[in-house]
Structure formats: structure tokens, C-alpha cells
Structure 1
Amino acid sequence: MREAGPGALSATELRVQHALQTLYRQHHGWLQGWLQRRLDNNACDAADLAQDTFVRLLAKSEPVSMRQPRAFLTTIAKGLLVDLWRRRELERAWVEALASLPEPVAPSPEERLGLFQTLAAIDYALARLPRRARQVFMWARLEGISCPAIGARLGVSLATVERDLAAALRLCYAARYES
């Protein structure tokens, strides 16, 4: 029996790889068409999201058992669609906000890109928070409501509000300063 060298795949890894290749061959075209219909026939975005769907599968740390592969792929793709639509809405709001600034105050194109990328990363981070923590962050940071007032609104303790706010701030900090 021959020993496998460094970097050789185990039998399990080979089976997983083969299963993913088969899944890709059998369903990639269908998935891309499904996405294209939901994206008003935008073939480029559909191709990108179909590819991203399979990249997500590859990134999973454990093998995925799929009895209904199209339903499984659709679930992943729907999440990617929501991310795309959310990003586009954020871009639209960003462009509107920039358009309202007077010319000398408006950031340069490079600054705009950097600011938007930071904003998108923070938006993505906040989207991963539980609903209450997201609401606490929005009320505290965007509306200036005090933590005791937020606690009263939500019917939770001050410590809970502060914990939720701290979690949101940690995510924002990580999105802004960590690579």
C-alpha cells in the first residue's frame, strides 16, 4: 500500500469533492437561471451569485448531506440575493447622501469608496446581530436615545441594553479596523 504524500486528499475528502463536482455539474445552470429570473435577467449578477453559492458550499467545514439539492442551493442563493439587494440599497442611500453635500465638503472618489466599504462592512456586521441588539444600537447611536430609556422601551434591564450595545459596537469596530 502506497503512503499518501503531504497534501494528498483522504478518501472522505475525495468523496466530498466528487459530490460537490457532481452537484455543480447537475445544478449550476439551473441555479444561474433561477437567479437570473429574480434579478430581472441580469446575467452577470446571476453568474456571480451562482458561483458564490458554490463557494459557500466549499467553505463549509463539514460535509453537507442534501436530499433536495435544489432546495438547499436555493436557500443559500436567497441569502446571497438579500445581501446583494441590501448592498444596493445601501449604495443608493450613500449616493443620495453624498449628492446632498456641498462640493467643497464632498469627499474625493477614493474617500467615497473607502467610506462606502466601511459602511457596507458595518451594515453586514450589524445584520448578523440579534434583532434586539440591532435595535438598541440604532436607537442609541442614530437617534441618541439613552440606555435607560431604551431599556424602558424594550422592557429589559439597563445591563441587557449595555451588553447589546457593547456587542454591536465590538462588531462595528471589527468591521472598521480589523482585516
Structure 2
Amino acid sequence: MATYRPVAPQAYHTGCRASLGQLYYHHQPWLQRLLCRRLGCDAAAADLAQDAFVRLMRTPRSFDCDEGVRAYLSRMAKGLCVDHWRRLDIERAWQESIAACADAGLPSVEHQQIVIETLCEIDRMLSRLPEKVATAFLGSQLQGKPYRQIAEELGVSERMVKKYMAQAMLQCALIEAGFEASL
């Protein structure tokens, strides 16, 4: 299986030296077609293909062969599609909640985008947490459940729920500080 590893920005390899521009020229149409098949939308596919190459530009890789490039881009495309679908789900839920509160007046488009982006960050944070930690966090913060009730539902001690909450709050603090952390 072909491998990839981080390298200096000017060193792109596909068997022999190739620039990012050459990688883009040779692989972007293929990647866009792959994304279009997965998404069913050429415009979204074009956006995500562009995002893939921006990520590759930010974090250069060295590839052993063209198959390695395509394997890497294929894995990246899968992740980009998942992120895209999750964002659509979040946007849909936000629009439904706005529609349910129509009498309260609509927030500005800018405010709506800020809320959606914040919800996406929270979703990314929750997806990185172990299931019980995320469940405890949501039970406490969204549903207002006391730790004792959460502990009973999860089959753990109340002390463990406190540890779960500390773990989730640390992730929130890191997001607030502008750091991404992985567990």
C-alpha cells in the first residue's frame, strides 16, 4: 500500500518531483468526479475538491506514486463528504428551529452563519469524545439532568460523570482558546 508523510511545502513527489500545480492538474478532475458521484452535486463537489487541495497545500505530503496520491485524496474526500453531510444536517436543524420560532423574528444572515459555525465546532468536538463523555455532556448541558440521573442512565458512578464532564469542558475550553485537541 502506498504511504504518505508530511514534507516541506516545496517537496511534492509522485514517483518523481511534482509541484502542487501538477498534482492539481493531474488529479483534480478525477477527485471532482469522485466527489460528484458521492454527493450528487457538481457545485458541492467542485468546492470540496478545492478544499482538498487547499488542505494539501497547508499540509504538504510526499507520495510514492500516483496511486498513493489518489489513495490519500480518496480518504480525504470521504472525510470531506462526511463533514459536508454533517454540516447540512446542522443547517437543516437550525432552519427548523428558526421556523418553529418564526414569531420571534429572524436573526441576521451573519448571525445565523455564526450560530451554524459554532454548532459545527461543537459537533466536531462531540464526535471526538468517547460516547459516554458526549452523552453525559449533552444530558447535563442540553437536557439539564443532574449528575446522579446521568450516572444511573450510563451505569457509572456520579464521580465518573464528573470526570466525563471535566473531559468535555476541557475540549470546550480548547475550542474557545482556538486549539483543536484530539482524544
TM-score (norm 2): 0.73
Structure 1 residues 58 and 158, CA gap change in structure 2 (3 angstroms): farther
Counterpart of 1:155 in structure 2 is: 155
How far has the Cα of 1:143 moved from its partner? Answer: 2.5
Q: Kindly state the Cα deviation for residue 39 of structure 1 after the two structures are TM-superposed.
A: 1.6
Structure 1 window deviating more from structure 2 (153-162 vs 46-55): it is 153-162
Matches within 5 A, 1:37-52: 37-40=37-40, 42-52=41-51
Amino acid at match of 1:39: L
Tell me which moved more, 150-159 or 91-100: 150-159
> CA 1:60–1:130 in structure 2 vs 1: closer, same or farther (change >3 Å)?
farther
Cα distance in 2, alignment partners of residues 176 and 14 from structure 1: 33
Asked if 2 retains the 8 angstrom alpha-carbon contact of 1:118 and 1:175, the reply is no
Pairing 1:146–2:149 present: no
Letter in 2 for 1:51: Q
Structure 1 residues 7-156: aligned runs within 5 Å: 14-16=10-12, 18-19=17-18, 21=20, 22-40=22-40, 42-60=41-59, 63=62, 68-104=68-104, 106-156=106-156
Paired amino acid for 2:37: R
Q: Secondary structure at the match of 1:51?
A: helix
Deviations, residues 132-173 of structure 1 (Å, cap 9, x unaligned): 222221222222332233233333343332222223233334
In 2: Cα distance, 1:102 partner to 1:75 partner: 41
Unpaired segments of 5 or more residues in structure 1?
A: 1-10
1:16 partner amino acid: Y
Kindly state the Cα deviation for residue 12 of structure 1 after the two structures are TM-superposed. 6.2
**Quick check: 2:12–2:61 contact (8 Å CA) kept in 1?**
no
Where 2:93 maps in the other structure, the secondary structure is helix
Q: Distance in 2 between the 1:36 and 1:174 partners? A: 35
- Alpha carbons 1:94, 1:116 under 8 Å: kept: yes
- Structure 1 position 64, deviation (Å): 5.5
**Does the 8 Å CA contact 1:53/1:73 hold for their aligned counterparts?**
yes
Q: Which amino acid aligns with 1:131?
A: E
Cα distance, 1:111 vs structure 2: 3.1
Letter in 2 for 1:155: G
Secondary structure of 1:152's aligned partner = helix
| SS at 2:101 equivalent | coil
- The structure richer in strand per residue is 2
Tell me the distance in 2 between the aligned counterparts of 1:65 and 1:154. 47
CA distance in 2 between counterparts of 1:63 and 1:157 reads: 48
What amino acid maps onto 2:54 in structure 1?
V
1-side partners of 2:160 and 2:132: how far apart? 10
Worse-matched range after superposition: 147-156 or 133-142: 147-156
Structure 2: tracts of 5 or more residues without a match: 1-6
